Amino acid sequence: MKLRVKPITGLIRSQAHIDRILRSQGFVYRSGLYNIRIQDSTSGNVYQLQIPALPHNSQAQEQPFIRLGEPSIHCNRGLSRFQAQNRDIPAPVLDAANDKLAEIVSYLRSHPTVT
């Protein structure tokens, strides 16, 4: 099982709209990434789900827009970044991450961009 990223990757909305939705879902924005922690109740390991937010410029915009990049998930407990990215993610953690991504996509697609 892996992270289902296709529906969210490349989604473009106003920065204010994306920020409002992701923060309401528990994400924190830092350095171009939206992050949320997911803890595995079995092992106690904490995983980080990250969604890159990239500036998107198109003509005649009154407000800044961003494009969501490809989400990633990794363990952030005492491992180097390489080890964390290559570690197997438990199925329940992937399920939780995929559910969170699906919820965000559903909300972004069903609500028009309003600031």
Q: ∠ CA(14), CA(113), CA(16), 5° rounding?
A: 40
- Which domains, and CATH codes, for the chain? 12-109 (3.30.310.100)
How does pLDDT run across 59-89, given as a tens digit for each residue? 666 778 999 999 999 987 655 555 445 468 8
Give the percent of the chain with pLDDT over 70.
82
User: Is residue 24 within 8 Å of 34, Cβ to Cβ?
Assistant: no
Mean pLDDT of 26-43: 94
Between the CA of residue 108 and those of 7, 12, 16, 40, 78, what are the distances in Å?
Answer: 11, 9, 12, 27, 34
pTM, rounded to two decimals = 0.83
Question: According to the model, what pLDDT value does residue 75 have?
Answer: 86
Task: Check: CB of residue 46 under 8 Å from CB of residue 38.
Answer: yes
Average pLDDT, the chain: 85
Decide if 52 contacts 69 (C-beta within 8 A): yes
